[in-house]
Amino acid sequence: MLYVAALSLVLACGGVAYAAPGTSDESDVARLRARGLAVPVDGVRASDLVDTYQQARDGGMRAHEALDIAAPRGTPVLAVEDGRIAKLFSSRQGGLTIYQFDPASEFAYYYAHVDRYAPGLTEGAGVRRGQVIGYVGSTGNAAMDAPHLHFGVYRLGPERAWWRGSPLNPYLLWAPLFNRR
């Protein structure tokens, strides 16, 4: 999907409120990978994804620490696994965002720049893998002409606070699916 590859170079993309630094923990990645998470943009395959985790943001002041998935505005955003909506939040960088916890509230999935939420989506609601939770857009600091989903994965701390966690590279959750033959 050349569209994804080309756009990923020019996306100005939204950060997250999380402050805690962290590195990808291999065992966390392996555990999540084993769950067979859905790719969070409808119609996008794992083999279409481009690793944008280490890209510089804010003029090199920080790393991106997330995965950008380019798609036409209005493309459905899908929950990557079962869980619940922990927070619906609007921020300057991320625009309209969704924080979903996994079933054990160990991990948070962060979906940003969404154009709008799925009708009826509320904080605390349970969601199922593949459920439409919103639509791709360019809210926050995303370029208007480059709608995309900014998707992050964070290991939550013991306080299970939606705004605090350690990032891991979402690209790694799907990469083996197309590297393996």
Binding site for Zn ion (CB under 5 A): 13, 66, 68, 150
Alpha carbons 118 and 137: distance in angstroms, whole number: 13
Least distance from C-beta 66 to Zn ion, angstroms? 5
Q: Which is nearer to Zn ion, 14 or 83 (CB)?
A: 14
Alpha carbons 181 and 178: distance in angstroms, whole number: 7
Q: Which is nearer to Zn ion, 83 or 167 (CB)?
A: 167
Alpha carbons 28 and 84: distance in angstroms, whole number: 19
Least distance from C-beta 71 to Zn ion, angstroms? 13
Q: Which is nearer to Zn ion, 100 or 150 (CB)?
A: 150
Q: Which is nearer to Zn ion, 92 or 128 (CB)?
A: 92
Alpha carbons 162 and 20: distance in angstroms, whole number: 12
Q: State the burial class of residue 86 (Cβ atoms within 10 Å of its Cβ: 0-12, 13-18, 19+).
A: buried
Least distance from C-beta 73 to Zn ion, angstroms? 16
Least distance from C-beta 68 to Zn ion, angstroms? 4
Q: Which is nearer to Zn ion, 125 or 175 (CB)?
A: 175
Residue nearest Zn ion, Cβ-based: 13
Question: Which ranges of the chain does DSSP label H, i.e. alpha helix?
Answer: 2-8, 26-34, 175-179
Alpha carbons 110 and 177: distance in angstroms, whole number: 22
Least distance from C-beta 148 to Zn ion, angstroms? 7
